[in-house]
Structure 1
Amino acid sequence: MNEARLNSLLDFLAQEPTDAFTLYAIGMEWKEYNPKKAAEYFEKLVQHHPDYLAAYYQYSEVAIALQDRTKIIDLFEKGIALAQAQGNLKTLGELKNAYMNWQIEED
């Protein structure tokens, strides 16, 4: 985690508390070091910007790390539906593959 970058992002967030990119970037900064903290920012992102497609893949990885089965399913299903609606075939494939891999590991 880059502490200086995180502090800058938190300053930006203080000025615009629902800025999509800033929420995403903060979630990414926390993702490896504190998944629970990352989940807070990704949750705020999908609440305020449900069409921010990149959030669903990253947030689903955080939910997997936290073993939040209900959230995992919700994120994958919403992300897949959004990718289809947006016609984003690359992200659609990535989400479907990740979801399928998670399901296989769950069995």
Structure 2
Amino acid sequence: MQTTRLISLLEFLKSDPNDPFVIYALATEYNSINDTEQAFYYYNILINDHPDYVGTYYHLGKLYEKTQELEKAVAIYQKGMTVARNKRDNHAFSELQGAYNSAMGLDYEDD
């Protein structure tokens, strides 16, 4: 069953199939309803067609972690950190670095 939001996003995509925000929103919506196949599909469109859309990397990495594909998650976080650094997006870089550190077991906490 498709949600109203999903139906709206698919309509937006029909009117502008190359809009990275709509593609990102679709990936995120599919992820939120646990349709990982469609979420991966749309995140991969972003990676291939809009590699500078920096928000993709964090969420795609988390989806890889969710599906127990840690090596892919780490690689996506690394690629995302490079993109964020090149775009001088320090906030995104910091979030990706935190996710990378956590995936690598480097997120130390003081007890």
Normalised TM-score (structure 1): 0.87
- 8 Å Cα contact 2:30/2:39 also seen in 1: yes
Q: What does residue range 53-68 of structure 1 map to in structure 2 within 5 Å?
A: 53-68=54-69
Alignment partner, residue 99 of structure 2: 98
In structure 2, stretches of 5+ residues that fail to align are 107-111
Q: What does residue range 25-44 of structure 1 map to in structure 2 within 5 Å?
A: 25-32=25-32, 33-44=34-45
Over 6 Å off, 4+ runs = none
Let me know the Cα RMSD of the aligned residues: 1.9
Normalised TM-score (structure 2): 0.85
Counterpart residue identity of residue 79, structure 1: G
Q: What does residue range 1-107 of structure 1 map to in structure 2 within 5 Å?
A: 3-32=3-32, 33-104=34-105
**Separation in 2 of the partners of 1:5 and 1:95?**
27
In structure 1, stretches of 5+ residues that fail to align are none
Counterpart residue identity of residue 74, structure 1: A
Aligned residue for 1:50, secondary structure, equals: coil
More helix by share: 1
Counterpart residue identity of residue 29, structure 1: E
